[in-house]
């Protein structure tokens, strides 16, 4: 089991080079600038190229070279190859020549590449929250749901803006009406108060006891009147339009069905005409066949006669005397006759072939006509009864709605009748009340009552106008529906992403808890990942808490390695190739070896590069430098 790699002009590796990796741990040990990173880059180009932005491809091709390639032969003999080409205007391009689908699906997403030593040195941790979040996003499903969530959220914002604009516009339109209602209400209140003050003033009263009784009765009657008016409004403003809309919808439905019915019927007519034409054709073809057959039979008869004559003449051809009548034979005449008959036979045979062809064509045409007739009959069979049933059902619904509308109208009439009666009653009582007052104030009361009545009617009209305005603003109501739909979609996909992420974090934390050996190497009690903020909670062996920022370079490198490995190995079913480039150089040898050994047990190919001090002798990487189990 091994991986064979051949490359040309990748990074620092100018020219052609070959390497092979054995299963298990592969250590690349060499001094600086010998091509360790270039080799790992070559592998990454092949198995993780989807993660490399086009702008970074320049770093992968050797300087001043126009082309390079990487080939990989896996343990099953399957080949993968990519090529890099430099174009003066377009920069470096990557072409996938041969990508083994197994390798792609198995390896491309499952590769860990701890290669950015500079970032580590700058104190930007490989295991920081952004990195971990990015790893989650690499997972296809999270990626898809995340894209849907982001897209839906953007649409939601656009719709929210539209709703705000429309609401503002509506508010601008309604505001003057509301202002007018407010003004009228204030004036109404003032007039009512003024009227009551006049009535309550004892100097204006003739009969105090009766005034008290009438005031109470009028209060009750006015309450009843308000209730009745509300009921009438409810019917006029709510129930009636609702049923009228339903009525209109069903009418539209019926019209559509009738249209469909008409279409079917007109189509039926066309089909019937078409059928008749095909039937005519069928009859004509059938007659044609009969004629052909008849002609063919006649020709057959003639052909037989001619053949017999030829036979007879053939027999007499060499004779000078007739064997039957002993008469002398005209040889020349016989010969001519024979030729003539032969020509006729040839013509008859040719005609026979022509008849056969004609017969075949006619039979085919007859078959087509029969099939067409069958087809049309099948189509005609589809009766418009189902549509008629639908129309009838809808007509019944219409009748029911008409009945309900009539009922509502009757109720309205009844309510109006009651209202009139109460109004009459109020009018009588107010008149009586007026008579209980001194004559000089009666006129004033009457005047105020008229003003109150006018104002009440005007307010009712304004309210109706406002309500219908609100209802008729279809555009806003449609936009609000869109808003709810966008909110539902956004919330659904946000929840999906969050759930998947939290499950992943849970799995990572479970695995972290079980990784005693690795944690012990880092002298840690535990590491947990906070599911909400993707932050690491780190506890040292002495139970004190710390953060990555406070740790030494070697400790950070070790934790980065542990976290990277745990995260990927938890989220992915297997990691076939794990590339580690130099990040471990700050660790001491023992700790490094222990960590690498610990990880290598679970990975088929662990390829690690490690810098060794330059001792005056330059080592160039070749397969010899790749040591199995250092």
* CB 567, min distance to another protein, A: 24
Instruction: Pick the stretch among 354-362, 456-464, 488-496, 536-544 that binds another protein (CB under 8 A).
Output: 488-496
Dihedral sign, CA of 623, 624, 628, 630? negative
Closest CA to 579 of 4, 19, 18, 111: 111
For the bound state, the minimum distance from the C-beta of residue 92 to another protein, rounded and expressed in Å, comes to 20
Which C-beta is closer to another protein: that of 150 or that of 404? 150
Of residues 250 and 575, the one with the C-beta less far from another protein: 250
What single DSSP character describes residue 325? T
Q: For the window 411-440, what string marks contact with another protein as x by the rule CB under 8 A?
A: ------------------------------
Of 392, 489, 452, whose CA–CA distance to 156 is shortest?
A: 489
Provide the β-strand partners of residue 272: none
Interface with another protein, residue 489, by CB under 8 A: yes
| 3-state per-residue secondary structure call for 252-265 | HHHHHHHHHHHHHH
Supply the minimum distance, in Å, between the C-beta of residue 142 and another protein: 13
Q: Is 492 an interacting residue with respect to another protein (CB under 8 A)?
A: yes
Q: Which of 426, 437, 486, 566 binds another protein (CB under 8 A)?
A: 486
Stretch that binds another protein, among 150-158, 299-307, 322-330, 581-589 (CB under 8 A): 150-158
Q: List CB contacts of 258: < 8 A, sequence separation 6 or more.
A: 391
Binding string, residues 103-142; x marks residues near another protein by CB under 8 A: -------------------------------------x--
**Binding to another protein by residue 144, rule CB under 8 A?**
yes
Please say whether the beta carbons of 221 and 426 come within 8 A. Answer: yes
Residue 283 makes contact with another protein by CB under 8 A: no
Q: Which residue has the tokens 């109020």?
A: 426
Which of 481, 502, 514, 517 lies at the binding interface for another protein (CB under 8 A)? 481
Q: How far is the CB of 486 from another protein (least distance, A)?
A: 6
Count CB neighbours of 35 within 10 A: 24
When asked if residue 177 is in the footprint of another protein (CB under 8 A), the reply is no
First to last CA, the chain: 19
Site size toward another protein (CB under 8 A) is 19
Q: Kindly state whether residue 148 participates in binding another protein, applying the rule CB under 8 A.
A: yes
Overall size of the chain counted in residues: 630
At its nearest, how many Å lie between another protein and the CB of residue 497? 13
* Residue of the chain from 54, 212, 431, 488 that contacts another protein (CB under 8 A): 488
Interacting residue with another protein among 155, 174, 405, 554 (CB under 8 A): 155
Helix (H, G, I), strand (E, B) or coil at 372: helix
Residue corresponding to tokens 């190995």 = 569
Residue 424: alpha-carbon gap to chain centroid: 65
Closest approach of another protein to the CB of residue 491, in Å: 11
- Close Cβ partners of 560 (under 8 Å, ≥ 6 residues apart): 114, 120, 125, 126, 127, 583
Q: Is 152 exposed, middle or buried (0-12, 13-18, 19+ CB in 10 A)?
A: buried
Asked if 52 interacts with another protein (CB under 8 A), we say no
Residue 151, interface with another protein (CB under 8 A)? yes
Q: Which of residues 156-175 bind another protein (CB under 8 A)?
A: 159
Distance CA 75, CA 78 (A): 7
Strands 577-581 and 112-114, how do they pair?
parallel
- Of 157, 335, 354, 478, the one binding another protein (CB under 8 A) is 478
CA 619 – CA 549 distance, rounded (Å): 36
Q: Is 7 exposed, middle or buried (0-12, 13-18, 19+ CB in 10 A)?
A: buried
By CB under 8 A, is residue 245 in contact with another protein? no
Contacts for 577 with CB less than 8 Å, ≥ 6 apart: 3, 43, 47, 107, 110, 111, 603, 604, 605, 607
Nearer to another protein, 246 or 418 (CB): 246
CA–CA separation, 423 and 27 (whole Å):
103
**Least distance between another protein and beta carbon 31 (Å):** 43
Please, which residue, 275 or 480, has the CB nearer to another protein? 480
Site residues for another protein, 555-614, by CB under 8 A, read none
To 10 degrees, the CA torsion angle through 336, 337, 343, 348?
180
Would you say 144 or 270 has its CB closer to another protein?
Answer: 144
- Would you say 145 or 605 has its CB closer to another protein? 145
From candidates 480, 535, 591, 611, binder to another protein by CB under 8 A: 480
- Binding to another protein by residue 147, rule CB under 8 A? yes
Select the span of 60-68, 269-277, 289-297, 485-493 touching another protein (CB under 8 A). 485-493
Angle at 262 between CA 256 and CA 263, to 5 degrees: 90
Stretch that binds another protein, among 282-290, 325-333, 400-408, 477-485 (CB under 8 A): 477-485
Count CB-CB contacts under 10 A for residue 391: 19
- Do strands 545-546 and 536-540 pair parallel, antiparallel, or not at all (unpaired)? antiparallel
Strands (E), 23-147: 24-30, 67-73, 79-87, 91-98, 112-114
Closest to another protein by CB, 151 or 357: 151
| Nearer residue to another protein within complex by CB, 122 or 140 | 140
Judged by beta carbon, residue 489 or residue 554, the one nearer another protein is 489
Contact set with another protein (CB under 8 A): 140, 144, 147-148, 151-152, 154-155, 159, 478, 480-482, 484-486, 488-489, 492
């Amino acid at each position: 089991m091994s991986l064979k790699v051949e490359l040309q002009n990748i990074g620092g590796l100018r020219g052609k080079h070959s390497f092979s990796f054995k299963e298990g741990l592969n250590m690349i040990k060499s001094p600086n600038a010998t091509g360790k990173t270039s080799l790992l880059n070559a592998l990454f180009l092949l198995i993780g190229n989807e993660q490399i932005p086009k702008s970074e491809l320049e770093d992968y091709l050797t300087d001043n070279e126009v082309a390079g390639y990487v080939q990989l032969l896996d343990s099953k003999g399957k080949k993968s190859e990519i090529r890099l080409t430099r174009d003066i205007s377009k920069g470096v391009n990557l072409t996938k020549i041969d990508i083994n689908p197994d390798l792609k699906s198995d390896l491309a997403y499952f590769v860990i590449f701890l290669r950015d030593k500079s970032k580590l040195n700058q104190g930007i941790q490989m295991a920081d929250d952004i990195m971990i979040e990015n790893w989650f996003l690499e997972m296809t499903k999270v990626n898809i749901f995340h894209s849907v969530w982001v897209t839906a959220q953007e649409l939601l914002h656009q719709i929210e803006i539209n709703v705000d604009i429309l609401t503002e516009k509506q508010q601008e339109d309604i505001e003057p009406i509301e202002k007018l209602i407010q003004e009228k209400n204030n004036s109404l209140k003032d007039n009512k108060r003024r009227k009551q003050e006049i009535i309550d003033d004892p100097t204006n009263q003739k009969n105090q006891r009766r005034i008290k009784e009438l005031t109470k009765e009028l209060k009750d009657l006015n309450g009843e009147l308000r209730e009745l008016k509300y009921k009438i409004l409810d019917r006029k403003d709510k129930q009636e339009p609702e049923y009228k809309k339903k009525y209109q919808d069903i009418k539209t439905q019926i019209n559509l069905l009738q249209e469909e019915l008409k279409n079917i019927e007109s189509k039926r007519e066309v089909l019937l005409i078409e059928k008749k034409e095909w039937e005519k054709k069928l009859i004509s073809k059938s007659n044609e066949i009969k004629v052909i057959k008849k002609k063919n039979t006649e020709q057959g008869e003639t052909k037989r006669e001619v053949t017999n004559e030829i036979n007879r003449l053939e027999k007499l051809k060499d004779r000078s005397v007739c064997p039957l009548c002993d008469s002398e034979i005209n040889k020349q005449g016989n010969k001519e006759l024979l030729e003539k008959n032969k020509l006729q036979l040839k013509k008859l045979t040719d005609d026979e072939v022509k008849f056969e062809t004609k017969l075949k064509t006619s039979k085919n045409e007859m078959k087509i006509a029969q099939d067409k007739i069958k087809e049309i009959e099948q189509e005609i069979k589809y009766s418009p009864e189902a549509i008629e049933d639908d129309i009838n059902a809808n007509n019944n619904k219409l009748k029911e709605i008409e009945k309900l509308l009539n009922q509502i109208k009757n109720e309205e009439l009844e309510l109006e009748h009651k209202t009139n009666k109460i109004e009459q009653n109020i009018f009588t009582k107010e008149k009586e009340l007026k008579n209980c007052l001194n004559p000089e104030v009666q006129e004033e009361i009457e005047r105020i009552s008229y003003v109150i009545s006018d104002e009440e009617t005007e307010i009712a009209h304004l309210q109706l106008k406002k309500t219908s305005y609100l209802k008729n603003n279809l555009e806003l109501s449609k936009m609000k529906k869109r808003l709810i739909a966008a909110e539902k979609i956004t919330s659904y996909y946000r929840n999906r992403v969050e759930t998947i992420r939290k499950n992943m974090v849970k799995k990572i934390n479970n695995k972290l808890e079980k990784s005693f050996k690795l944690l012990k190497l880092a002298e840690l009690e535990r590491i947990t990942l906070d599911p909400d903020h993707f932050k690491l909670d780190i506890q040292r062996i002495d139970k004190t808490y710390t953060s990555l920022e406070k740790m030494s370079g070697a400790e950070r490198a070790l934790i980065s390695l542990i976290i990277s490995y745990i995260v990927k190995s938890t989220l992915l079913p297997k990691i076939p190739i794990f590339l580690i480039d130099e990040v471990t150089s700050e660790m001491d040898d023992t700790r490094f070896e222990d960590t690498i050994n610990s990880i290598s047990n679970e990975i088929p190919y662990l390829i690690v590069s490690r810098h060794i001090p330059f001792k005056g002798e330059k080592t160039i990487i070749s397969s010899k430098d790749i040591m199995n189990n250092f």
